[in-house]
């Protein structure tokens, strides 16, 4: 079945990767052709103009997006990213992956994603706030605690979520903390949310090590990306006794075969956001070389399509834990499978963020907040259960972990559509 004609901006590599993954899974599971056609494209794709008065008085117009892929199982859920390369195709792909991710974890959500094409580093705090509030006002009719719930992503943080929550609350006339997750604690945020994605990556990686009979204290770990996901993954891996030998950001990376001093590295990088390239705590290494290091665990936690058919044969890890969304192409998948690499796919590995976002939403709705250890315990229970269900599905279907995760998630969404039927 061919992909319907796409709007020009949606037709890009990331969206075609998401659709190709879906097509392969749908073929293996003999998905109903009508559902297959329906689930290829989003429920709703919103493109908005975001005019902002800059500090010097002139008005600059940015482009914003909010894509809802599916809402058959509950409100849609997904982050908002501020990045100069944000486009409709990328956002649509991320929304699709969110649908499968939520279903795989058993969360009562559909998938969504949003973003603004902007470099937030070039904006003052005032400009960033005005951009955020105008974007929130433009998407206001489509978001809400029972409709669509945004969260932080690349280039956004708890403060951005606070501005969105306030803008929405001013429009409805009362405080509505459940409209976003990833907020500050003072306005309904959850303990454990900031570290959740990285902690989830570690939890499933430790389960994979048990499955493969590997000792974490003898494991070496390389992490591409040192933002929220990568830095917390590094910290928690270090805490459980693994040796983190390499980390990197957009400026390059650091390597030490004996293990990096992660506490010192975190302290140095948190010093006014210092890039890793300016920190003298290891030997310099490029992002490309980091992906080719001989290590037990490789965690791509940066942007999509980092491991391709061009470099997959040079990847030398035992476990690939995908902290980023879509870091591995389908062609690379086959190469890694043939090499015996155990892949923990993105929709499983990085689902800790949306799982704890769900906890935050539940706490906001109930007006009852949990202890941090309760959150960690519940995260561990949900994400490790999802890992073992996926592993069991993989063994039963004789497929790789990625296809098993996709088929499992798609199956839950398909059941919801078939139960609800087609309106009208």
Nearest to 301 by CA among 257, 244, 249, 357: 249
Cis peptide before 424 (omega within 30 of 0): yes
- Taken in order 143, 144, 148, 150, the sign of the CA dihedral is positive
Question: How are beta strands 243-249 and 252-255 bridged, if at all?
Answer: antiparallel
Task: Please list the helix, strand and coil fractions of the chain in percent, rounded to the nearest 5, in that order.
Answer: 50, 20, 30
Q: How many CA atoms lie within 13 A of 242 on its CB side?
A: 26
Catalytic-role residue among 77, 113, 183, 243: 113
Four-CA torsion 320, 250, 94, 6, nearest 10 degrees: -120
Helix (H, G, I), strand (E, B) or coil at 244: strand
Q: How many helices (H) and strands (E) does the chain have?
A: 14, 12
113 is catalytic: yes
> What does DSSP assign to residue 218?
G
Backbone CA torsion sign across 408, 332, 196, 40? negative
- Active-site residue numbers? 113
């Amino acid at each position: 079945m061919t992909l319907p004609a796409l709007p020009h901006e949606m037709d890009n590599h990331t969206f075609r990767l998401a659709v190709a993954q879906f097509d392969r899974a749908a073929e293996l599971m003999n998905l109903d052709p009508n559902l297959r056609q329906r689930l290829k494209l989003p429920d709703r794709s919103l493109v908005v103009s975001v005019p902002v008065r800059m500090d010097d008085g002139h008005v600059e117009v940015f482009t914003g997006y909010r894509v809802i892929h599916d809402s058959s199982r509950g409100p849609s859920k997904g982050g908002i990213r501020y990045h100069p390369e944000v486009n409709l195709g990328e956002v649509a792909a991320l929304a699709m992956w969110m649908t499968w991710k939520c279903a795989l974890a058993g969360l009562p959500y559909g998938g969504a994603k949003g973003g603004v094409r902007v470099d937030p580093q070039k904006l003052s705090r005032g400009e960033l706030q005005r951009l955020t509030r105008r974007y929130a006002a433009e998407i206001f009719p489509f978001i809400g605690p029972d409709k669509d719930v945004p969260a932080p992503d690349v280039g956004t943080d708890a403060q951005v979520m606070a501005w969105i929550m306030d803008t929405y609350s001013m429009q409805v006339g009362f405080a509505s903390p459940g409209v976003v997750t990833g907020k500050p604690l003072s306005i309904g945020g959850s303990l454990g949310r900031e570290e959740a994605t990285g902690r989830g990556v570690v939890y499933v990686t430790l389960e994979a090590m048990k499955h493969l009979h590997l000792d974490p204290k003898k494991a070496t770990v390389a992490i591409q990306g040192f933002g929220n996901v990568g830095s917390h993954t590094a910290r928690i891996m270090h805490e459980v006794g693994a040796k983190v030998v390499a980390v990197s950001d957009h400026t390059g990376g650091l390597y030490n075969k004996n293990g990096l001093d992660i506490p010192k590295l975190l302290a140095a990088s948190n010093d006014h956001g210092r890039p890793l390239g300016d920190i003298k705590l290891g030997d310099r290494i490029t992002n490309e070389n980091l992906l080719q290091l001989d290590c037990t665990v490789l965690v791509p936690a940066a942007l999509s399509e980092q491991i391709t058919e061009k470099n997959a044969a040079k990847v030398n890890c035992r476990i690939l834990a995908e902290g980023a969304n879509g870091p591995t192409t389908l062609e690379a998948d086959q190469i890694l499978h043939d090499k015996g690499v155990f892949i923990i796919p993105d929709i499983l590995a990085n689902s800790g963020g949306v799982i704890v976002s769900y906890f935050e939403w539940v706490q906001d709705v109930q007006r009852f907040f949990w202890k941090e250890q309760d959150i960690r315990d519940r995260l561990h229970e949900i994400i490790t259960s999802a890992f073992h269900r996926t592993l069991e599905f993989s063994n039963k279907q004789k497929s790789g972990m990625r296809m098993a995760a996709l088929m499992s998630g798609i199956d839950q969404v398909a059941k919801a559509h078939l139960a609800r039927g087609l309106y009208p």
